[in-house]
Structure 1
Amino acid sequence: MEIKVTDQLDDIYQDARAIRRHVFVEEQGINEADEFDGTDSDAFHFVAYEDSEPVATARTTVTEDGVHIQRVATEKAARHQGYAKQLMEAILDSTMFQDAPRFYLGAQATAIGFYETLGFKQYGDPFMEVGIKHVNMEKLINK
């Protein structure tokens, strides 16, 4: 597996966008305007490739609170093969984010266990976003 990252709206981004469209818009029924919210140009987009095919993606933005991870998605045919876990580990280990105090995300309730395996802890109350139950989760960066 190869992981590529971009902060441009280039071919890597287009691969990320395609995965997100398949997973969030087509499978989960999220409105396309909500999924593509106009902030992609402010983010780093990570894409995992297997045999040159894009299989998983995530976007990150650096904020004053830390590294915000969003839009983690794996193509349906590539699920349960460890791609998202390897992608997330690459993000968590990236030297790009070594000065951030923490990683944080809003996890769909069905993905809580996945993020817990990566060391994320839930905080706050559950909330609804785009009609799907989410929880806030964070992982503090050990300095």
Structure 2
Amino acid sequence: MSEYEIRRIPGDGELSDAYDVRRDVFIQEQNVSEAEEWDGNDEDAVHYVVYNDGYPIGTARVRIPEAHLAKIERVAVRKQYRQAGIGQLLMETLETEVRDQNATEVLLHAQTAVKQFYEKLGYMATSDHFNEAGISHVKMTKRLD
């Protein structure tokens, strides 16, 4: 069995692996426009990349827009690596990291197709469905204890 490694990369760090995963998942697979994907918030975020034997297979970024609130964004796992627990591993890592930064609540915009994934991790929908980048989303939050 392969071991997964998660690396933390600051917004001014080397983000090419995170960008490769996001380009593969959001731009190529889901047809999100480059203008929407590259939204100018990468420098203000901390990025996490999941590696499988040195190959980047998943990513996410985190911003802290206000005290005690973490916003998890751009969660992506390459198609051939889904359903293997990588998304859960990534989310658990992010929650631990933001808890260490005194965040007490996490906010994310989940694609409705993966809403159940986040519900299993304890997130609750807090909005009606809305369109973001041409894809149906719902706002979800989770209290961190």
Query: TM exceeds 0.5?
Result: yes
2:90 equivalent in structure 1:
87
1:30 equivalent in structure 2:
32
Task: State how far apart, in whole Å, the 2-side matches of 1:95 and 1:101 are.
Answer: 8
Q: Which of 98, 119, 125 is 1:122 aligned to?
A: 125
Q: Please state whether the residue corresponding to 1:94 is helix, strand or coil.
A: helix
Task: State how far apart, in whole Å, the 1-side matches of 2:100 and 2:106 are.
Answer: 9
Q: Please state whether the residue corresponding to 1:29 is helix, strand or coil.
A: coil
1:57 equivalent in structure 2:
59
TM norm structure 1 = 0.93
Q: After TM superposition, which residue ranges in structure 1, 4 or more long, deviate above 6 angstroms? A: none
Q: How many residues end up aligned between the 2 structures? A: 141
2:103 equivalent in structure 1:
100
TM norm structure 2 = 0.92
What is the Cα deviation at residue 38 of structure 1? 1.1
Task: State how far apart, in whole Å, the 2-side matches of 1:72 and 1:38 are.
Answer: 16
2:9 equivalent in structure 1:
6
In structure 2, relative to structure 1, the CA distance for the partners of 1:95 and 1:71 (3 Å cut) is closer
Query: Which range is displaced more, 59-68 or 91-100?
Result: 91-100
What is the Cα deviation at residue 9 of structure 1? 3.8
Identity of aligned residues (%): 40
In structure 2, relative to structure 1, the CA distance for the partners of 1:96 and 1:6 (3 Å cut) is farther
CA contact (8 A) 2:99 2:144 kept: no
Task: State how far apart, in whole Å, the 2-side matches of 1:90 and 1:100 are.
Answer: 14
What is the Cα deviation at residue 101 of structure 1? 2.2
Task: State how far apart, in whole Å, the 2-side matches of 1:40 and 1:95 are.
Answer: 17
Q: Please state whether the residue corresponding to 2:137 is helix, strand or coil.
A: strand
1:67 equivalent in structure 2:
70
In structure 2, relative to structure 1, the CA distance for the partners of 1:77 and 1:42 (3 Å cut) is same
What is the Cα deviation at residue 124 of structure 1? 1.8
What is the Cα deviation at residue 95 of structure 1? 5.7
In the alignment, structure 2 segments of 5+ residues that lack a partner are: none
RMSD of aligned alpha carbons: 1.4
1:131 equivalent in structure 2:
134
Residues 71-106 of structure 1, C-alpha deviations (whole Å, 9 max, x = no match) = 000011211111111011111112664411200100
Letter aligned with residue 23 of structure 2: R
